[in-house]
Amino acid sequence: MGTSGGWQPADPVAGRQFADLGPMGLELGGWLPGVRVAYETWGEFTGNNAVLVQHALTGDAHAAGPTGPGQPTAGWWDPLIGPGKAIDTRRWFVLSSNVLGGCQGTTGPSSLAPDGKAYGSRWPRITIRDQVAVEVALADALGIEHFTAVMGGSMGGMRTLEWIVAHPNRVGTALVMATGAAATADQIATQNVQIDVIKADPNWQGGDYYGTGRAPFNGMGIARRIAHLTYRTERELAARFGRDHQLGEDALASGRFAVQSYLEHQSDKLCRRFDPGTYVSLSDAMSLHDVYRGRGLGALRAVEVPTRVVGVPSDRLYPLYLQQQIADEIGVDLDVVESPFGHDGFLLEDEAIGAVVADLLAPTATPC
């Protein structure tokens, strides 16, 4: 493992495509001299059949398809995207891009600045709105004037909200899942504890660890374990692990409990494919999320894009009342998906979420 677990230009390209979008100003006053976006597509674009799917914090552009060289994870929404699936690629052209600040081919902290060195500590602070500005520029570059649907959960749900508030004329319908209109104190606290853990790792080196042979993977691994506990539920962990000791170990004799091994496995997987600098940047962007900023509390009440809002009652990171608030302000009913998996329910409840997605797209006239 190098000093970034993310994708590097020397790695196999896999299904990635790239768009160079030029320089970009940022919401908080920063500036990037050039932005490259990695994206993937499925289906054939006919001019009026585009669907944008939005990944969450540690996701990427690979929304569908298998693992392979240069692609360590299977598509995060693979059960829903493809021929005959909820988002039928015989009918729809599906676009998914890695967000600004990401580490799977899009410009981020591990990318090379014009001086040939990684941005590292020079990486500017970014917001969800900056990420959406990049997505709008990508759509322009690809000749997509209008999306039949934009959909996403968690951080992807934040970007979906920004699309329907800031660019309503470019969105036909939307699906917002497991997110809130603005980051809460609890979410900001949880995210900043994770950021602090990464920065407390001596290998953080002020953010300039790239190329040094030492990276703060220990800190990011702990951050991932903290996060994963917010993604799942006490009920699920109790049912799966209880107080069991890890197989072949004795927790009374310096061994581990099974749940410890599970969390370590989750952190090890992330460290093999993700960059700590990206984790810090995107977590901060999520804390800054506020759809009302500069727009007033009527921002969602003014939304005219037909929108479905989905929440999971067991979600302890983005509690159901946050989705109810969004639904109430937009003026729609809330879709409730029962799941023992908490926040991750929007990724794991394929049948229930797939039914909502299929229903969302069903009223749309079949593209010619």
Q: What is the model's pTM?
A: 0.96
Active site (catalytic) residues: 154, 315, 343
Task: Convert the pLDDT of each residue in 327-342 to its tens digit.
Answer: 999 999 999 999 999 9
The burial class, CB within 10 Å (0-12 / 13-18 / 19+), for 241 is: middle
- Give me the pLDDT at residue 323, please: 98
In which band, very low, low, confident or very high, does the pLDDT at 130 lie, cut at 50, 70 and 90?
Answer: very high
Task: Convert the pLDDT of each residue in 95-109 to its tens digit.
Answer: 999 999 999 999 999
Residue 91: pLDDT above 50?
A: yes
For residue 63, count other CB atoms closer than 10 A to its CB.
25
Q: Which residues contact 291 (CB under 8 A, 6 or more apart)?
A: 158, 161, 162, 165, 181, 182, 299, 300
> For residues 25 and 238, is the Cβ–Cβ distance under 8 A?
no
- Give me the pLDDT at residue 1, please: 54
Q: What is the CATH number of domain 188-283?
A: 1.10.1740.110
- Rg of the chain on CA atoms, in Å: 20
| Average pLDDT along the chain | 96
Mean pLDDT over 352-360 rounds to: 97
Q: What does the alpha-carbon distance between residue 330 and residue 181 come to, in Å, rounded to a whole number?
A: 11
Containing 197, the helix (H) or strand (E) segment is helix 185-200
Identify which of 1, 9, 5, 7 has the alpha carbon closest to the alpha carbon of residue 71: 7
Buried b (16+ CB within 10 A) or exposed e, 113-130: eeeeebbbeebeebbbbb
In which band, very low, low, confident or very high, does the pLDDT at 3 lie, cut at 50, 70 and 90?
Answer: confident
In which band, very low, low, confident or very high, does the pLDDT at 368 lie, cut at 50, 70 and 90?
Answer: very low
For residue 184, count other CB atoms closer than 10 A to its CB.
15
Q: What are phi and psi of 34, to 5 degrees?
A: -170, 140
Third-level CATH fold of 17-183+290-361: Rossmann fold (3.40.50)
Percent of the chain with pLDDT over 90: 97
Mean pLDDT over 220-247 rounds to: 97
**Please, what is the Cα angle at 41 between 306 and 173, to 5 degrees?**
0
Residue 225: pLDDT above 60?
A: yes
Mean pLDDT over 102-127 rounds to: 98
> For residues 15 and 94, is the Cβ–Cβ distance under 8 A?
no
Task: Convert the pLDDT of each residue in 251-286 to its tens digit.
Answer: 999 999 999 999 999 999 999 999 999 999 999 999
Residue 367: pLDDT above 50?
A: no
Q: What does the alpha-carbon distance between residue 318 and residue 158 come to, in Å, rounded to a whole number?
A: 12
Mean pLDDT over 160-176 rounds to: 98
Q: What does the alpha-carbon distance between residue 54 and residue 76 come to, in Å, rounded to a whole number?
A: 10
Where are the domains positioned within the chain? 17-183+290-361, 188-283
Q: Which two tokens stand for residue 357?
A: 């997605």
Per-residue DSSP letter, 47: S
Residue 365: pLDDT above 50?
A: no
Per-residue DSSP letter, 80: G
The burial class, CB within 10 Å (0-12 / 13-18 / 19+), for 12 is: exposed
